[in-house]
Structure formats: C-alpha cells, structure tokens
Amino acid sequence: MHMFQPLPIELIECNPFTRFGQDWALLSAGSKTEANTMTISWGGMGVLWGKNVVFVFVRDSRYTKELIDEGGFFSLTFLEEQYRKALNFCGSHSGRTSDKMSSAGLSFDFRHSIPYVDEGSFVLLCEKLSATRLTQDSFLSPHIMEKFYADGDMHTMYVAEVIEALAR
Ligand SMILES: Cc1cc2nc3c(=O)[nH]c(=O)nc-3n(C[C@H](O)[C@H](O)[C@H](O)COP(=O)(O)O)c2cc1C
C-alpha cells in the first residue's frame, strides 16, 4: 500500500487537457464491499457554483455508472505512464463480469470510504453535485448525435466537488 498525502488544492499544478486527454484517469466508485473502476479520457476540472469541481461523462452501459448512481462520491486516479497497459485493460473490460482490478494488477485503497487506485500518483476525491443525462436535444449540431451516439448509449455528465486531493 502506497503512502498518499493530502495536497492543498491551491498547490495542484496540472494541465487539464493533457491530464484527461492524454494521460487518462481511472474513475472509481462504490464501497468497500463492491467497488469498480473504469478508464476515462473525457472530462475536465474547473469552478462551478462557487466550488472546485470535476466533470466527467459516463455512458449508460458502464457498470461503474451503476455504482456512481448508488452513492454520493467517486474518485479520479491519475497514474504514471508505466500503467498504460492497465489503463487500456480497465477501459476495455467490464467489472460487471470479471475482477478487472486484479487482472490489471491494480488494487483499491479507501479514504472517507471512497475507493481510489493505490498505484496512482495523484487522486481527486469527489462528491457528486449533479447528474445530467445528455439527450438528442442537448446537441446544437446533429453531427454529435450521429457520430457519438448512433447506438443510443448516451453519456451522463456528472459534476462533482473536489473534496480532497491526494499525492505521493
Ligand atoms: C482511453 C479510454 C478512454 C475512455 N473514456 C471513457 C469516458 O470518458 N467515458 C465512458 O463512459 N467510457 C470511457 N471509456 C470506456 C470505458 O472505460 C470502458 O467501457 C470500460 O470497460 C467500462 O467498464 P465498466 O463496465 O467496468 O464500468 C474509455 C476507454 C478508454 C480505453
């Protein structure tokens, strides 16, 4: 088990475009009895409703979505390049049917009962503020629906307050 230290949010130095778009993250949700993680590369961080927030987009079909919807919290774990294979694995296998954490060589830690991934280097612990399922009416360009949602597997956008950052 790795040692993580709380990191004051003002001290976080990160480029959200490369953090999400290139590094990717593991979005974890659930409890000590049932937790799951999935790879994400769409999302961001900023300020909304006077709070420091992240926003992530999770499709209907994801098992992780069920766990996000059941609870009030989730985490984002960012990992170093050496874990790229594990990130690819967690982005292409569902925890609904297999124990993908052990197959990927990863393990959960918990803080405030929120699961996060021990092998990470930077973690954001988040409390859900809103959940908005995108629908055809959400898009100003019909292109988006055709290109990304032809099968109807829509994204829900979760906005969540960053309640603590951890680093090691
Ligand atoms: C690089 C990468 C980025 C991904 N980004 C997202 C994302 O932002 N939102 C999403 O719903 N799925 C995304 N996925 C797909 C999920 O990680 C994948 O479907 C996963 O197997 C879901 O696992 P689960 O069923 O255990 O929740 C991504 C996959 C990869 C490889």
Q: What is the pLDDT of residue 39?
A: 98
Beta-carbon contacts of residue 93 (< 8 Å; ≥ 6 apart)? 100, 103, 104
Token code pair at residue 117? 């991934």
Q: What's the whole-number mean pLDDT along residues 26-36? A: 97
Beta-carbon contacts of residue 21 (< 8 Å; ≥ 6 apart)? 41
Q: Quick check: 2 pLDDT over 90?
A: no
Token code pair at residue 62? 């994801």
% of the chain beyond a pLDDT of 70: 100
Q: What is the pLDDT of residue 44?
A: 97
Q: What's the whole-number mean pLDDT along residues 60-85? A: 98
| C-beta of 30 in contact with ligand 1 (< 6 A) | no
Q: What's the whole-number mean pLDDT along residues 51-67? A: 98
Numbers of helices and strands, H then E, in the chain: 5, 10
Q: For CA atoms 50, 8, 117, 20, give the dihedral sign.
A: positive
| C-beta of 128 in contact with ligand 1 (< 6 A) | no
Q: What is the pLDDT of residue 117?
A: 98
What number does the ligand 1 atom closest to the CA of 93 have? 21
Which of 62, 66, 154, 155 should be mutated for ligand 1, with most atoms under 8 A from CB? 62
Task: Give the chain's mean pLDDT.
Answer: 97
Q: What is the pLDDT of residue 140?
A: 96
Q: What is the pLDDT of residue 1?
A: 83
Q: For CA atoms 11, 14, 15, 19, give the dihedral sign.
A: negative
Confidence of residue 13 (pLDDT cuts 50, 70, 90): very high
- Residue 150 to residue 167: CA distance in whole angstroms: 39
- Decide: 90 and 100 in contact? Cβ < 8 Å: yes
DSSP state of 23: I
Please name each of the domains of the chain with its CATH number.
5-167 (2.30.110.10)
Q: What is the pTM of this model?
A: 0.98
| C-beta of 93 in contact with ligand 1 (< 6 A) | yes
| C-beta of 95 in contact with ligand 1 (< 6 A) | yes
Phi-psi region of 64 (alpha: psi -120 to 50; beta: other; left: phi over 0): alpha
Distances (CA, A) of 145 to 36, 59, 138, 141: 28, 13, 9, 8
Q: What's the whole-number mean pLDDT along residues 131-143? A: 96
